[in-house]
A and B are shown apart, each in its own frame.
Chain A
């Protein structure tokens, strides 16, 4: 039996971009407000899960050709490499530093090295959550 889900697909096309924007906002606001790499990654993963729910695995794999196990592995690698990068400068493992720069559009901006670490955490969370949900929901 074919099921008419044109409303779900039309809504999803807009809502996915809202959720992705909110996930990036949560990822970038993790210093002194609620947010950070972990829950930013969870929100990004929920956007991808919504894509998988409204479409099917084959369609999403065609438009988003990512192996999410590799995404998780790359995230863990990125987080660990930034941890070891602090050893080059003679400070303890996983030390972080920050500085203020004058960027053209944003004005005075605080750039930290912990953001790279948080990007690794976010990638790991996205990969692991999407892999788990695809594994437990697939039928044979």
Chain B
């Protein structure tokens, strides 16, 4: 029973990633794409967590942490590029 619930959750996460991918492709504006990329990152983290429950292993926990860090940094970089046009400033103006 628990196994079936976990597999269903995996399938739903996969469908959610596909929907976010559609939003990235047809997304009218860049902030839509940034939010959809962040959503794909969160869904991937959740999928890895569910997979590690299914396989009864702790080997993927570092992968979850690394994926979280990379999704955080890449979302910040994309939003800063969308908002200001540059990513790393040479000198702050305040």
A56→B65 contact, CB < 8 A:
no
Which of B59, B63, B83, B89 makes the CB contact (< 8 A) with A56?
B89
A8 to chain B, nearest CB (A): 7
Tell me if B29 counts as interface (CB < 8 A to partner A).
no
Contact B83 A3 (CB under 8 A): yes
Q: How many residues of B contact A (CB 8 A)?
A: 23
Q: Is the CB of B65 within 8 A of A49?
A: no
Complex contacts, B90 vs chain A, CB 8 Å: 56-58, 138-139
Partner of B73, one of A35, A53, A138: A53
Q: Which residues of B38-94 are within 8 A (CB) of A?
A: 59, 62-63, 65-66, 69-70, 72-73, 76-77, 80, 83-84, 86-94
**Are B92 and A59 interface neighbours, CB within 8 A?**
yes
Main secondary structure of the interface of B (DSSP, over half): helix
| Distance (whole angstroms) from the CB of A54 to the closest CB of chain B | 7
Q: A46-B69, A46-B73 are in contact. Are A57 and B89 (CB under 8 A)?
A: yes
| Closest partner residue, chain A, to B92 (CB atom) | A56
CB-defined contacts of B76 to chain A, threshold 8 Å: 8, 50, 53-54
Could you pull out 9 A-B pairs where Cβ atoms are within 8 angstroms?
A19-B69, A53-B76, A57-B89, A58-B91, A58-B92, A133-B88, A134-B88, A137-B86, A139-B86
What residues make up the interface of A, taking CB atoms closer than 8 Å to B? 2-3, 8, 15, 19, 22, 26, 33-35, 39, 43, 46, 49-50, 52-59, 133-134, 137-139
Binding site for A on B (CB under 8 A): 59, 62-63, 65-66, 69-70, 72-73, 76-77, 80, 83-84, 86-94
Besides A53-B80, A56-B92, 15 other A-B contacts (C-beta < 8 A): A3-B83, A3-B84, A26-B62, A33-B62, A34-B59, A34-B62, A35-B62, A43-B66, A52-B88, A53-B77, A54-B76, A56-B89, A56-B91, A58-B90, A139-B86
